[in-house]
Amino acid sequence: MPFTETLKDAKGRKAAKRRIVLVDIENVVGGLSAVRDHVSWAKVVIGECVPAQPGDQVVIGVGPTGLLDLACAWKSVRYVMRPGQNGADLALLEVLGENIADRFTEVVLVSGDGIFTHAIAALASRGVKTTVVAHASGLSRRLEFAAGEVRLLPEQPSPRSVAAVSNMDVA
């Protein structure tokens, strides 16, 4: 179904446009070991690049050791976790296999990892609007070409940017 068509519910009524935002938090902050120090920064920066819309479903992929820090800083989202190398990526790929094209009109992937290329291309071919949000230095060229739109994140946090976000959290 092309994106321009209106989705219908089970009774043939017009269904609302829905968006799912998938975040590879480790990709955004520079690795699992950086989740604790930079998750608040990531939340602010992602919010600026992908302003929240009513009804958004947000799913964040993380490795087991980063889950507690993530959950303390970023509430009211779905967390998916998997251990091992590329664990967060693999957990998010499982979500992308959950009939996304039948349930959402738009997918925003916050990651530059090429592992997502086939999933994003498949969703785009089914008429789902696809946006990739990533650091320019970490954006896979294949993923960039598969996405309908690309937005760039500022590079990984500096001590100054983290301090600024920390001061905002206190206010």
Estimate the crossing angle of helix 35-49 against helix 159-170, to 10 degrees: 80
Taking residues 86-112, what's their average pLDDT? 97
Taking residues 72-76, what's their average pLDDT? 91
**Confidence at residue 31, expressed as pLDDT on a 0 to 100 scale:** 81
pLDDT greater than 90 at residue 139: yes
Asked if 123 and 38 touch (Cβ cutoff 8 Å), the reply is no
Asked if 124 and 147 touch (Cβ cutoff 8 Å), the reply is yes
**Confidence at residue 98, expressed as pLDDT on a 0 to 100 scale:** 95
User: How far apart, in Å, are the Cα atoms of 58 and each of 47, 166, 170?
Assistant: 11, 22, 24
32 Cβ neighbours under 8 A, 6+ residues apart: 26, 62, 63, 65, 66, 88
Largest CA distance in the chain: 53
**Confidence at residue 3, expressed as pLDDT on a 0 to 100 scale:** 39
Taking residues 153-165, what's their average pLDDT? 62
State pTM to two decimals: 0.83
**Domains of the chain and any CATH numbers:** 21-170 (3.40.50.1010)
Higher pLDDT, 144 or 157: 144
Of the ranges 6-10, 75-79, 160-164, which is most confident?
A: 75-79
**Confidence at residue 107, expressed as pLDDT on a 0 to 100 scale:** 98
Higher pLDDT, 31 or 119: 119
DSSP label at residue 99: S
pLDDT greater than 60 at residue 1: no
pLDDT greater than 70 at residue 171: no
pLDDT greater than 70 at residue 69: yes
**Confidence at residue 124, expressed as pLDDT on a 0 to 100 scale:** 97
* pLDDT tens digits along 12-57: 544 578 999 999 998 998 887 768 788 989 999 999 999 999 999 9
